[in-house]
Each structure stands twice: as C-alpha cells, then as structure tokens.
Structure 1
Amino acid sequence: MDLDRLSQQLIERFQHGMPLCAEPYREMAQVLGCYEADVMACLQRLELAGALSRIGPVFEHTRAGASTLAALAVPLERLEQVARRVSQYPEVNHNYAREHHYNLWFVLTGPHREHLQQILDELEKDTGLTPLDLPMLTAYRIDLGFSLGVHP
C-alpha cells in the first residue's frame, strides 16, 4: 500500500501515543493541521487496506493484572481463520504470523492469570491447537515504532 501524506503523518506522530483527552481524533487533526473527518477517513482507509489492525492502549502487564506471550502451530491453510479467531478477544494484541513451526504469536493481557488460562483453553477447544504459553519472567523495553521519515 502506498501511503498518502496524511497516513504517513498519522503513523509517524501517533504510533507511540494518542492524546489522552475527551476528543483525541480532533486533537490529532489539530496537531496535523487538518479536520477530524480527515483523520477518521484516513484511519478507515488504513484499516480497510489492512495497514491498521487496532487503535488502543498496551498496558504495563504488572499493573493490568497478568499477561503472557502465546503461540500456535497452525496449518498454513488455516492461518488466516485462526488468526481472526484469536483477534476476536479484546485481551489480544500483537497478533502476528512468523515463519516457524509455531507460526502464530500473540500477547494476552487480562485481570489475572486464571482469565488468561480460560482464553487459552477456549482457543484450544475452538481450534484444536494447543497454545504454547510463555509468561514473561523479565521485562525488556524496546521501541516498537518505525520511523517513516515524515514529520507533521
């Protein structure tokens, strides 16, 4: 997908944080010098093109309750179907495919460990695939953003 200038500016400026206010999209528009409707239309285009998967917070796992990194070994012909099923949970973020025996990886965050286990059990029952459950033992902070070389 070729990104237009507004898309590039939105990604560059807001991939690390949205304004914490009553009208964040209006605030984003003001920062970028456009209208709120332009921001909303641009985000919709990015979503429809598959370039945007979600807008939402990523919580510090120790403050949000519990989290785990999970993986599934999914037959390639079922990968998209299983990925959609996994993404139906609001507790899931960073759901992505990898070239490995365990080819679908995702992070679960929830109020407590039992809640995460319930989701993993549901996924196993629904998909017939046993999740690899890798709870975090030590936190490492890395920048998950990517510069597009465009500045508002």
Structure 2
Amino acid sequence: MQIDTLSRRLIDRFQHGMPLCAEPYRAMAEALDCSETEVLACLERLEHGGGLSRIGPVFEHSRAGASTLVALAVPEARLEQVAEHINSYSEVNHNYLREHHYNLWFVVTGPSRAHIDAILAQISAETGLEPLDLPMQAAYRIDLGFPIGEAP
C-alpha cells in the first residue's frame, strides 16, 4: 500500500491524542491544514488499503470493568470454526492465532469479573475446550506508536 503525504502526516500526528471534541475530524483537518472531507477520505483509503484497523479510544480496563487474556488449545481441524465462534462474542476484542499448544489467544472484557467468568464457562461448554485464563497482574505501560515521517 502506497502512503501519501497527507496519510503520513495524519498518522504521525494522530496515532495518539485524537481530539476529544464534538467534531474531531474537523479539528484534525485544522491541525493538518486541510479539509474535513480530505481527512475522512484519507482515513477511508487507509482502511480500505489495510493500513488502518480502527479509530477509537483505548480505555483503562480496570476503570471500565474487567478483562483477561485467554488461551485455548484448539485442534487444527476445528481452528476456523472455534475462532469464528469466539469472534461472535461482543466481549472479545482481539483474537490471534499463535504457534503453540495454546494456539488461539483472545482478550475478553466485560462489566465485571463475574461476567467474564460466565463468558469463559459458556465458551468451555460450547466448544468443549478449557480456556486458560491469564488475568493481568501488573500493567507496564508503553507508548506504542510508529512515526513514519517523510517518504523515503
């Protein structure tokens, strides 16, 4: 995917700190000295080109409810079916295939730990697989961002 100058500037400026206001795309446009229409078109191009997966906040899970990392050991023949089933839960916000005995890893969030426990019990009953529940013990914050700067 070719990234144009506006896309580069938008990514560098707004990977972190999207404006919290009634018209965030207009505020982004003003900061980038372009139109709101150009910002929205740029975001759409990035999404359709596979360079953008989502726009939204990242919440401190412990203030918004509860979450846990979960792993399943899924037989290869059932992998697609089980992954699709896991993805059907609105409480699941990430789902990854890994090279390991525990090959399907996902994050479950909910309003309470009891809600998460109920979801994990339901997944176990529906799949016949036992979820490995890996709740976070401590958070180590990193500023994950990838400045891309000017085109080479």
TM-score range, shorter chain: 0.7 to 0.9
* Corresponding residue for residue 23 of structure 2: 23
CA deviations over 1:112-140 (Å, ceiling 9, x no partner): 11222344345456666543321111111
User: Normalised by the size of structure 1, how large is the TM-score?
Assistant: 0.76
Q: Partner letter of residue 120 of structure 1?
A: L
CA deviations over 1:71-129 (Å, ceiling 9, x no partner): 34456677677656545555444544444333443333321112223443454566665
Identity value in percent: 69
Specify the SS of the correspondent of 2:141. Answer: coil
Indicate yes or no: 2:38 matched with 1:68: no
**Tell me, which stretches of 5 or more residues in structure 2 are unaligned?**
none
Shift of 1:23: 0.6
Specify the SS of the correspondent of 1:70. Answer: strand
**Distance verdict in 2 for CA 1:131–1:25, change over 3 Å:** farther
Alignment of 1:3-152 (within 5 A): 3-74=3-74, 86-87=86-87, 89-124=89-124, 129-150=129-150
Give the paired residue count. Answer: 150
**Distance verdict in 2 for CA 1:42–1:141, change over 3 Å:** same
Tell me, yes or no, if the aligned pair for 1:64 and 1:109 is still in contact at 8 Å. Answer: no
